[in-house]
Chains A and B, each alone.
Chain A
Amino acid sequence: MSSVPLSAYLTLAIILFCIGLYGALTKKNTVIVLIAIELMLNAVNINLVAFSKYGMMPSIDGQIFALFAIAVAAAEAAVGLAILIAIYRNRKSVNVDDYNSLKN
């Protein structure tokens, strides 16, 4: 029985990464930008887990790295939302284009 090749998983990961990158670059709402970054981190986790099974030296280490990446991503989401709340209190807006006080 032929199993799914490694390149199929990597292709899925790069499609999800591109969707996340497009969302992070074009969306206006800051919450959506944050969650698009989470999608990109998820795509990277798929790569880590896929290489832990199909890589040159298969071992459990890739799954451990994915766990660490999930932990750091959760911390990043919490701090990002706290920054969003603080900015919203001062600027009364969640639009990324309004956060331009460094511009002029």
Chain B
Amino acid sequence: MSGEFFIFIVLSLIAIGGGIMMINLTKVVHMVVALVFTFISIAGIYVMLSAEFIAVVQILIYSGAITIMMLFGIMLTRHNDKSETSGGGFRKFLIFLAILGFGLVFYLGIYQLELGEPSTSLHENNTEQIGIALYSKYIIPFELTSVILLVALIGAIVLAKRDDKEGEERE
């Protein structure tokens, strides 16, 4: 067993363990914190796949920004009640069976998939390669992303802003 395989196994176990803990814990804050482990070990997986820039972005965006934003969402709403799962045990069991079947079908499709030789040049100046591709081949999607972020920013503010008229009527 090579060192690379060992690191992959450890990172995968942390990622899957974080997900399982998210499913099984009862307090919502603990669930979000359990998912931070998953996100950080996914960043480790990206480093193994010679994508250092995406690993840094993953740590910044997911384990930093999105987790903090979700924690704000929990704190701003009522979070004292335990998050028990919805529906009866039978419904949960049916959902579990359906997802198990889904996963098995896809596993049968991929478990011996091998495509060509792995690339050997992706880790050399990874950020520079991404920058060159982003500003030459993908310049139009890159600019459109800025429009999406602007729309999301304005939309989030408009949605979350307290509507003064409605507030007065209710009070």
Contacts and interface: CB of A to CB of B under 8 A. Distances in A.
A42 B45 CA distance: 11
Interface string B146-168: 00110111011101101000000
Contacts of A63: 51, 53-54, 122, 126, 130
Contacts of A56: 115-116
Interface residues of B, number: 86
B122 A18 contact: no
Contact of B4 (A1, A20, A60): A1
Contacts of A61: 133, 137
Contacts of A5: 114
Contacts of B133: 60-61, 64
B19 A6 contact: no
- Majority SS of interface residues in chain B? helix
Contact of A46 (B45, B76, B145, B153): B45
- Majority SS of interface residues in chain A? helix
A75 interface: yes
A101 interface: no
Contacts of B96: 22
B171 interface: no
B156 A12 contact: no
Interface in A38-69: 38-39, 42, 45-46, 49-61, 63-64, 66-68
Contacts of A50: 49
Given A54-B116, A66-B54, A42 B42 contact: yes
Contact of A58 (B2, B84, B85, B116): B116
Interface of A: 1-12, 14-23, 25-29, 31-32, 34-36, 38-39, 42, 45-46, 49-61, 63-64, 66-68, 70-79, 81-86, 88-89, 92-97
Can you list the 5 inter-chain pairs with the closest CB atoms, starting with the nearest?
A58-B119, A75-B152, A19-B19, A82-B159, A82-B156
